[in-house]
């Protein structure tokens, strides 16, 4: 059975295998049990590489080596392979996270921080700005901004983004509140996001707004992140935000936000309409 190149590429991506590994593996799946030489011919893999590839697949839990001569290999059911790979990925991620946690306390990070602090001193204030593309990158930067907040976080956002705030940033918002940071969130409240609004009320002041459509974040009146387009008009991959570090702009925008804030309805009153 010849496996399409498209499928081989998908398998490489999902299972983190190289091309020879997916060729040998799919060849063995088509036979159930086979020798390295036979799999080399079926998968069109050089015989000199077949044993190394099968040894790698055995370590990863894709195949079982059958004792005897000639040595033959047995295919592990695909469903079991998925479970084994999931476990391997979890263990690998846990080990890597542990390494990074240990790295935070090492001299290496201390040296990197000194490099950063020295470099940041040489940057002109007008250079502290940039564009971020992709919703994943935007979410990461939003989380970083909230973590660094010392005084205030002001957020004007959309219906869907309020849901993402509750899903991805609730722990960070709770930590900010615990540090004494005042968090204000203005968004249009609808039946699609009312449950998220309720969750956020423990960590922030939330109010309903329906006459201004925008998405932006103001941190301590100094940093601003604003999105260029409504999220309904752009694919998440191309969602773009502009980040600027400017007390002059940030303070002015925060004052405008606070002025509008005084005239908005409390979320606790609005959510009652959706019960």
Tell me, what's the pLDDT at 101?
83
**Under-50 pLDDT residues of the chain:** 1, 120
SS3 assignment for the chain: CCCCHHHHHHHHHHHCCCHHHHHHHHHHHHHCEEEHHHHHHHHCCCHHHHHHHHHHHHHCCCEEEECCCCCEEEECCHHHHHHHHHHHHHHHHHHHHHHHHHHHCCHHHHHHHHHHHHHHHCCCHHHCEEEEECHHHHHHHHHHHHHHCCCEEEEEECHHHHHHHHHHCHHHHHHHHHCCCEEEEEECCCCCCHHHHHHHCCCCEEEECCCCCCCEEEECCCEEEEECCCHHHCCHHHCEEEEEECHHHHHHHHHHHHHHHCCCEEHHHHHHHHC
Tell me, what's the pLDDT at 212?
87
Segment 208-217, tens digit of pLDDT: 998 888 999 9
0.75 cut: is pTM over it? no
| Second CATH level (architecture) for the domain 125-274 | 2-Layer Sandwich (3.30)
Segment 73-110, tens digit of pLDDT: 998 888 888 888 888 888 888 888 888 888 877 777 77
Tell me, what's the pLDDT at 116?
58
CATH number belonging to domain 5-80? 1.10.10.10
Answer yes or no: same fold for 5-80 and 125-274.
Answer: no
What are the structural domain ranges in the chain?
5-80, 125-274
Tell me, what's the pLDDT at 119?
56
Tell me, what's the pLDDT at 88?
84
């Amino acid at each position: 059975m010849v496996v399409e190149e498209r499928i081989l590429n998908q398998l490489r991506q999902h299972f983190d295998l190289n091309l020879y590994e997916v060729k040998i593996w799919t060849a063995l799946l088509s036979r159930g049990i086979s020798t390295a030489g036979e799999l080399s011919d079926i998968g069109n893999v050089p015989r000199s590489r077949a044993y190394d590839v099968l040894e790698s697949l055995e370590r990863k839990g894709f195949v079982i080596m059958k004792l005897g001569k000639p040595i033959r290999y047995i295919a592990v059911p695909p469903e079991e392979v998925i479970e084994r790979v999931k476990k391997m990925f979890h263990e690998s991620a846990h080990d890597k996270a542990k390494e990074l946690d240990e790295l935070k306390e090492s001299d290496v990070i201390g040296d990197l921080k000194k490099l950063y602090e020295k470099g940041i001193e040489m940057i002109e204030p007008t250079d502290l700005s940039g564009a971020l593309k992709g919703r994943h990158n935007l979410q990461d930067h939003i989380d970083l901004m909230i973590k660094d907040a010392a005084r205030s976080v002001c957020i004007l956002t959309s219906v869907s983004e309020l849901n993402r705030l509750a899903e991805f940033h609730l722990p960070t918002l709770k930590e900010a509140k615990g540090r004494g940071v005042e968090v204000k969130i203005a968004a249009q409240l609808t039946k699609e996001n009312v449950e998220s609004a309720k969750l956020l009320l423990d960590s922030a002041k939330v109010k309903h707004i329906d006459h201004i459509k925008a998405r932006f974040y103001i941190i301590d009146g100094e940093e601003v992140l604003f999105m260029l387009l409504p999220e309904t008009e752009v694919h998440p991959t191309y969602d773009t935000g502009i980040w600027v570090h400017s007390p002059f702009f940030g303070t002015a925008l925060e004052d405008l936000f606070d002025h509008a804030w005084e005239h908005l309805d409390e979320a606790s009153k609005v959510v009652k309409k959706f019960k």
